[in-house]
């Protein structure tokens, strides 16, 4: 069996955080935020601060519990087996739902170069499944191969975003900037909505905590990749977003279906759309790889605590959780096949919302678990800072959960409640 206990060093771990966070969301956010005018920038700043808070809270926990599973492991340590199982179940679902959604998005961008992928549902579905399983086999082969792919795609996906940002900052016009509150509604409600929209683009930052068993010196490496990775993501996002709103007039941006492509076309013509489409393909490919990697690691973590069936966590010849990877990708494939109709866009949106919700719930529990651990520590300045960070991280998680909307929270609750019979069966089999 391959020894891959040190498969992820600083740079590959950094690639997991940055590459797992920067995905398809950023490419549509300028258009989604256009109705909120310059409050969209406020949304970016607040969401960015919230993301940094979450990374600081997770960094504190990773030093205390450098264990595979990340938020799941922290929740179980703080609340016990039942909450641990519940959080692990929900987070696993968020990952294979994201695998389905992101693979669909990737093939959608491929359709720019191969029109048949956009017009023929059968070809599109086959290509999407091939993409999922191609990435899955890379992850089955070895953690090193997956980590290397993650680092390369992360470096490549940053280039087009920064390129657009620099185009806007050097060739854009302040006259294109929107009003502060063009809709004229409640400012606080508009900012809250924009923060929720922006948070979609930050989901994934917690991924650096999950494969702790495969990260070199996790007590030191995980905090570094979390904090530096989150700051890097925020910087890239702000540069790219400002570039787009400086290049594209607000009245055009609000109706745009490809804001980054529209921005580059205005400056360098049709080749700009090709650059952005290629960047989006690389971006979604890297994010897909991260989700596949994490789907195996979270199952491995829960299985190691005997809260999932033991066979799911079994390691293959490459030292990776082969069965967990295959099952996760199979479930994602079923979602893809079930939703290859004209209702795909709606299904895609729901999968992303549910994935976001079932990611933030574990982060909220991790924040409270941090407070439980800190309550037992001796008073100190470090403890006081960590308590404030954990409280703010919890409040921010709660804000974004509420902002996801009543319908999404409802379906997410049903999804999590569906775990209860499985927990009963697992405990019965243990006895």
Topology annotation, domain 10-430: Amino acid/polyamine transporter I (1.20.1740)
Question: What is the rounded distance in angstroms from the CA atom of residue 40 to the CA atom of residue 246?
Answer: 13
Record the pTM: 0.82
Question: What is the rounded distance in angstroms from the CA atom of residue 293 to the CA atom of residue 117?
Answer: 26
Tokens linked to 148? 């290397």
Tokens linked to 45? 């700043």
> Residues 124-130: contacts with CB within 8 Å, 24+ apart?
124/340, 125/336, 125/337, 125/340, 128/103, 128/104, 128/336, 129/333, 129/336, 129/337
Question: What is the rounded distance in angstroms from the CA atom of residue 54 to the CA atom of residue 38?
Answer: 25
Q: Where are the domains of the chain?
A: 10-430
Residues pairing with 215 in the sheet? 8
Tokens linked to 10? 């600083």
Burial annotation 116-147 (CB, 10 A radius, 16+ → b, else e): ebeeeeeebbebbbebbbebbebbbbbbbbbb
How much is the pLDDT for 351?
62
pLDDT digits (tens, 9 = 90+) for 280-331: 888 888 889 888 998 999 999 999 888 888 888 888 887 888 999 999 999 9
* Alpha carbon distances (Å) from 166 to 243, 314, 425: 6, 47, 56
419: phi then psi, degrees, rounded to nearest 5: -75, -25
Residues of the chain with pLDDT under 70: 1-7, 24, 183, 185, 257, 339-354, 403-405, 431
pLDDT digits (tens, 9 = 90+) for 188-207: 777 777 787 787 788 778 88
CA-only gyration radius of the chain, Å: 21
How much is the pLDDT for 353?
66
Alpha-helical regions (H) of 248-343: 250-253, 259-268, 271-304, 322-338
């Amino acid at each position: 069996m391959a020894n891959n206990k040190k498969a992820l060093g600083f740079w590959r771990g950094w690639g997991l955080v940055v590459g797992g966070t920067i995905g398809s969301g950023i490419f549509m956010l300028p258009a989604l935020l256009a109705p909120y005018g310059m409050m969209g920038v406020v949304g970016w700043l607040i969401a960015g601060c919230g993301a940094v808070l979450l990374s600081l809270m997770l960094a504190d926990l990773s030093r205390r519990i450098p264990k595979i599973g990340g938020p799941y492991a922290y929740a179980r340590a703080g609340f016990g087996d039942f909450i641990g199982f519940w959080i692990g179940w929900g987070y696993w679902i968020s990952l294979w739902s994201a695998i389905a959604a992101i693979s669909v998005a990737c093939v959608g961008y491929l359709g720019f170069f191969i029109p048949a992928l956009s017009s023929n549902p059968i070809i599109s579905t086959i290509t999407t499944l091939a993409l999922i399983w191609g990435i899955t086999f890379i992850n089955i082969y070895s953690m090193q191969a997956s980590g290397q792919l993650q680092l390369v795609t992360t470096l490549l996906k940053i280039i087009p975003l920064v390129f657009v940002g620099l185009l806007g900052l050097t060739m854009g016009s302040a006259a294109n900037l929107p009003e502060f509150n063009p809709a004229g509604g409640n400012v606080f409600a508009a900012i809250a909505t924009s923060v929720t929209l922006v948070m979609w683009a930050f989901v994934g930052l917690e991924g650096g905590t999950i494969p702790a068993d495969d990260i070199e010196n996790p007590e030191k490496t995980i905090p570094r990749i979390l904090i530096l990775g989150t700051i890097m993501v925020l910087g890239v996002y702000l540069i790219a977003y400002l570039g787009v709103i400086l290049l594209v007039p607000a009245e055009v941006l609000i109706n745009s279906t490809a804001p980054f492509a529209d921005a580059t076309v205005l400056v360098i013509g049709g080749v700009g759309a090709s650059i952005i489409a290629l960047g989006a393909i690389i971006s979604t490919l890297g994010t897909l790889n991260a989700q596949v990697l994490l789907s195996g690691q979270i199952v491995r973590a829960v299985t190691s605590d005997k809260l999932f069936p033991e066979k799911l966590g079994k390691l293959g010849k490459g030292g990776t959780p082969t069965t967990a990877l295959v099952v996760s990708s199979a479930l994602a494939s079923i979602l893809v096949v079930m939703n290859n109709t004209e209702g795909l866009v709606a299904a895609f949106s729901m999968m992303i919302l549910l994935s976001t919700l079932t990611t933030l719930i574990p982060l909220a529990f991790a924040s409270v678990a941090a407070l439980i651990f800190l309550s037992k520590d001796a008073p100190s300045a470090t403890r006081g800072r960590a308590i404030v960070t954990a409280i703010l991280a919890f409040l921010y998680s709660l804000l974004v959960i509420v902002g996801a909307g009543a319908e999404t929270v409802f379906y997410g609750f049903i999804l999590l409640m569906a775990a209860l019979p499985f927990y009963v069966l697992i405990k019965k089999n243990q006895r």
